[in-house]
Structure 1
Amino acid sequence: MDITIHRPDELTPSLRRAWHRAMDESPEYANPFLAPEFATGIGRYRGGTKVAVLHEDGEAVGFFPYERTALGVGRAVGLGLSDCQALVHRPGITWNARDLLAACGLSIFEFDHLVQEQRPFGPYVTGTFASPVIDVKPGDGTYPQWLRGTYPGLARTTLKKERRIGRDVGEVRFVFDERDPGMLRTLMRWKSAQYRRTGRMDRFSRPWIVGLVDHLFRVREDHFTGVLSVLYAGDRPVAAHFGPRSSTVLAAWFTAYDPELHYYSPGLMMHLRTAEAASRHGVTLVDLGRGDKEYKDWLKTRELRVGEGFAARPHPVATAHRLWRGPVRALRNTVNAHPRLREPADRFLKTVGTLRTSR
C-alpha cells in the first residue's frame, strides 16, 4: 500500500472521481461530510488541511482527510463541525492505522464522529454514541398525507399549528433549495442569537465558519451541494436550515427560527418539511447528527453509531495531547449522559446566555 499526501485543492479530477466512486460503492461513506468538496472547503480556511491518498497497484483506493499542526497533532477534518468522519475507501481494502499516521506525519489523530465500520481505528475508540437518522422514502402524495403516514403522533399538532400560523401571519410555503444568499445571512443571524441565548459558543462569531458556510452554499456538484431550506409564512421567513447533501444523504447541520414565532414550533415544522422535501429530491437518508435532543427522538427511524477517541503512535506529543483533551471530553460526555447533570448544566448555560444578551 502506497500513501501520498496532498492538499485538498491539489487533488486532480481523476482523484476526485476515485473518491466519489468510493463513496458510491459503500453506503456508510455516502455522507456529504466525507466528500472531497467538504475537505476542500475546510482547506480554504484552515491551514494544515491534508488528504492522504491510498494507492493499491497504482490505483487510488482510499482517501483520508485530516488537519495537522506543526507538532504533528492531527484531527478529523472539520472537527467540531463535521458530523461524520472516516477514511473513505473502496470495499475490500485493508490498511493499518499506525502506518497511516506515520505516513501523514501524525503522532496522534483525534476524532469524535467516526463511522463505526472503521475497524483499524477500533482499538483507539474511547466511546461510541447514537447518531439518529431518518430513512426517507419517495412519496407521491401531499405534505399532509406524508406527515400523517410517517408521523401520525405529530401530524395533528403540527398541522394545527401550521394552520394557525397561516391565519395569524400568512400562508405557509416551503422552499427546499433557496438560492437567496440574504436568507443564509438571516439563518446565521438567528443561529447566533440562539447560541448566545442558550449560553453556547457562537460559531458564527468566527469569520472562518461564516466563510466556510458561504462557500459551501455555492457548491453545486452531484456528490455535494449546499442546501438552504426556508419555511415562509406569507413573505415572512419563519425558519431555515442549511446543510450539505450528497447524492443520497442530507446532513442536518444548522437550523434556526424567528424567535418571535417560537410558540408555533417552527423548528419542528422545519425538520418535518425538510425530510419530506428531501425524499422528493432523491435523498434516502437524513442524518440528524450525534446528540440527545427530544426532537431527534421524535423524528428518528433508527440510529447509527459513531465513535470518538485518539489514534496514536508512541510519542510524547501524543501523550500530552491525550492528557489535555481526554478529561475534557470525558467530563462533557458524563454530563450529557446523565439527565440529573445535564439539566442543571443547561439551566446554568441559559442563565449565562440571558445575562450575556441583556448587556
Structure 2
Amino acid sequence: MAPRELGPREIEAWRELRGKTGAPENPFMGPEFALAVAAVRPRVRVAVWWEDGEPVGFFPYENGAFGHGRAVGLGVSDCQGAVLRPGLAPSPRTLLRLCGLSAWEFDNLEDGQGVFLGGSGGTPEAFASPVIDVGAGYAAYEDVLRVQSPKFLKTTLAKERRLGRQVGPLRFVFDERDPAALRTLMEWKSAQYRRTGRRDRFAKEWINGLVRGLHALREPGCSGVLSVLYAGERPIAAHFGLRSRTVLSCWFPSYDPEFAKYSPGLVLHLRMAEAAAAAGIGMLDLGRGAAEYKDALKTGELTVYEGSVTRPSIRAGLHWLAHEPTRRAHSYVRNRPALAARGRRTLNRLARLRGGVAGQP
C-alpha cells in the first residue's frame, strides 16, 4: 500500500514494534520518514504483515521500473530495513514476490536485518557508521575526547575562542526554525559538493523537497533539526539532521568557507553534542563514510551494509548487470588503501584549487 493509506492503528503499531527491536531509535526507520519520502517520491510503498488481526511487520520500499526495488530514500537515507515483530523472519524471496519485486537494493541496511543479509544477491559489504555517545552527559564526552583526541579538542576549543574574539560573539541555536537559515545551509552544501567534485544532492528537486518538508516535521519519532552557529548575527556553520527521542542522525553539515581557518564545522559538532545531551539525546549517528573529523569525534561505531537481495528472474539478472559491477568496482578501490588514498588526494587537491577545505564537515 501507499504510506498515506496507513491508518493511525498501523502507524502506532509501527512505532511500538520499532521500540521492541532493541536497536537505536534511528529516525530514518520510523513511519514519519517513509511518509515524508512518499510525499516527494510517489512510488514509495509499505508491505504490512498481519497476524490474528494485528499488524506485526512493516517493510517500506520504493517500487522502481521492472520490479527493481530500492530502500526508501536510497542515496540519502542513513538507516534502512524492515520493522518486524521479534521472531518474525519471512523468506527474502517470498517477501520480494509478495511485493512484486525482482530485487531490493540498499546502501545503509541496519545491522541485525537478518532477513536481507542472508538473502541471494551477493554478499553485502559492511561499513562502519561512527557514533558519539553522550548518554552520560556532555562533560563525560569531553573527558573521553581529552583522552582519545586531546590535540583535536584543544585546537578546536582554541579556534572557537578565537572565532568569538575576531569575528563576533558566538551564538548557537540547536533547533533553528527560520527557513532562510535552511536555504543558506543548502546553498553552502551545494557549493561544497561542486568544489570537491562530488554529486550535488540538492540539484535533485525531490531531495530539496524532502529536506524542506522534514524541517517542518515535529513528531517524537522523527523531527527535522537545523542547528546553526552564529558569529554576531551572521550564520557561519549549520547542520540539518533528524532526531528521535534518543538519537540525532547527522545528515547535512556545512559552513561558510570564508571562515574555514576557524574550523566552524568542528565547533558546530561539539555544540550539537552538548545541546543533544541536554535535550535527552543519548547518541549522535555521524553516518557512514570515512572522514578525519568523524574519527576525532566518535566514541564508537555501528555497522551498516550495502548490497541487494534478489529472486531468480530475468529482471533480477538485469538488475545485477546494471548495479553489481559498479558496486564491486567501488568496493575494489575502497579495500585498497593506497588506491583509495590516491583518489582522496585528488579530490582534496580539487577542493583546494576551487577554494574549498578538505576533511571538514
Question: What TM-score do the two structures reach when normalised by structure 1?
Answer: 0.92
Residue 335, structure 1, aligned to residue 333, structure 2: yes
Equivalent residue in structure 1 for 2:207, among 206, 209, 216: 209
Aligned to 1:227: 225
Residue 58, structure 1, aligned to residue 56, structure 2: no
Correspondence 1:35-46 to 2 at 5 A: 35-46=30-41
Which amino acid letter does the alignment assign opposite residue 192 of structure 2?
Answer: Q
Q: Distance in 1 between matches of 2:222 and 2:191?
A: 28
Residue 177, structure 1, aligned to residue 175, structure 2: yes
Deviations 1:161-190 (A, max 9, x none): 111001111111211111111000000000
Equivalent residue in structure 1 for 2:74, among 68, 75, 79: 79
Which amino acid letter does the alignment assign opposite residue 254 of structure 1?
Answer: F
5+ residue gaps, structure 1, are: 1-5
Which amino acid letter does the alignment assign opposite residue 10 of structure 2?
Answer: L
Q: Distance in 1 between matches of 2:345 and 2:155?
A: 27
Aligned to 1:241: 239
Q: Distance in 2 between matches of 1:117 and 1:215?
A: 30
Equivalent residue in structure 2 for 1:7, among 2, 6, 26: 2
Q: Distance in 2 between matches of 1:96 and 1:148?
A: 45
Q: Distance in 2 between matches of 1:41 and 1:356?
A: 35
Equivalent residue in structure 1 for 2:144, among 138, 150, 159: 150
Residue 161, structure 1, aligned to residue 159, structure 2: yes
The answer to which of 243-252 and 92-101 deviates more is 92-101
Identity of aligned residues (%): 53
Q: Distance in 1 between matches of 2:340 and 2:181?
A: 33
Displacement of 1:355 in angstroms is: 8.0
The answer to which of 318-327 and 86-95 deviates more is 86-95
CA contact (8 A) 1:228 1:243 kept: yes
Q: Distance in 2 between matches of 1:212 and 1:272?
A: 26
Displacement of 1:350 in angstroms is: 5.1
The answer to which of 165-174 and 250-259 deviates more is 165-174
Secondary structure class of the residue paired with 2:163? helix
Equivalent residue in structure 2 for 1:186, among 181, 184, 187: 184
Aligned to 1:20: 15
Deviations 1:97-129 (A, max 9, x none): 111111100011111111121112122442111
Q: Distance in 1 between matches of 2:87 and 2:24?
A: 14
Which amino acid letter does the alignment assign opposite residue 330 of structure 1?
Answer: R
CA contact (8 A) 2:134 2:140 kept: no
CA contact (8 A) 2:17 2:83 kept: yes
Secondary structure class of the residue paired with 1:268? helix
Deviations 1:67-114 (A, max 9, x none): 012411101111110111110123232322111111100011111111
Deviations 1:284-306 (A, max 9, x none): 11111111111111111111111
CA RMSD of aligned residues (A): 1.9
Residue correspondences, number: 349
